[in-house]
Amino acid sequence: MSSTTIDTPTKILTATLALLERPGAKLPTMSDIARASGVSRQAVYLHFPGRTDLLIAATRFQDMQNDVNAALTASRSATSGTERLDAFVTAWGNYIPKIYGVARAILAVVDTDAEAAAAWNTRMADMREGCAAAVQALAHEGTLPANVDPEQATDLLWTILSVRTWENLTQTCGWDQACYIDTVRGLALAALAQDVGALTDVLACPDPPA
């Protein structure tokens, strides 16, 4: 019989994600993670010097598990700025539900926990790079409106695609995922790619069932 040995960092990262994804989860301490991993607290610190490092590594490990690179292939291989913007908005918008459990646990304490805030800011900086790349593609081909500053356009796209926006629309307001995607795509394409026709998708969702 063959056996697969799971290395210690993978054990730690897997346990961290499991703790974060529990309903109503609180941000775990390093001791919590050590117990859940079945390793010593010292072993956790050996591989991850601080909780910020561990949380950043855990979110990137989650990306690897979900094969985020495959999800972004269409955006990265797009042949036009509009195509890249459309593909990026769709990919990220459909990726949020996969990471929401972890994101919610971190977001719950970002105002009071500096380590959580640092980890979250790193994750959002990574996402912002994708927004900036889409905007730059639009600017390069001349599709971005001439009077629009690329930095401000990136700010707008980054905000439209924030986890908080997805949370407010789908979890608080009860929009379904397809309605959310259609609306954010329409907003992004109309505002940044001068695609007026995309406005037909904004707020055009069918009424939810009674």
**CATH 1.10.357.10 boundaries in the chain:** 67-201
Question: Coil, strand, or helix at residue 146?
Answer: coil
Average pLDDT score over the chain? 91
Stretch 55-74: mean pLDDT: 94
Query: From residue 1, how far is each of 4, 5, 184, 210 by CA, in Å?
Result: 10, 13, 51, 55
Stretch 76-81: mean pLDDT: 95
For residue 205, what pLDDT is reported?
76
**What is the third-level CATH fold of 8-48?**
Arc Repressor Mutant, subunit A (1.10.10)
For residue 24, what pLDDT is reported?
79
**CATH 1.10.10 boundaries in the chain:** 8-48
Instruction: Say how far residue 6 (Cα) sits from the centre of its chain.
Output: 27
Sign of CA dihedral 39, 40, 46, 49: positive
Contact yes or no for 135/88 (Cβ under 8 A): no
Number of Cβ within a 10 Å radius of residue 59: 22
What's domain 67-201's superfamily in CATH? Tetracycline Repressor, domain 2 (1.10.357.10)
Q: Please give the model's pTM, rounded to 2 decimal places.
A: 0.88
Stretch 98-122: mean pLDDT: 92
Per residue in 152-199, pLDDT (tens digit) is 999 999 999 999 999 999 999 999 999 999 999 999 999 999 998 888
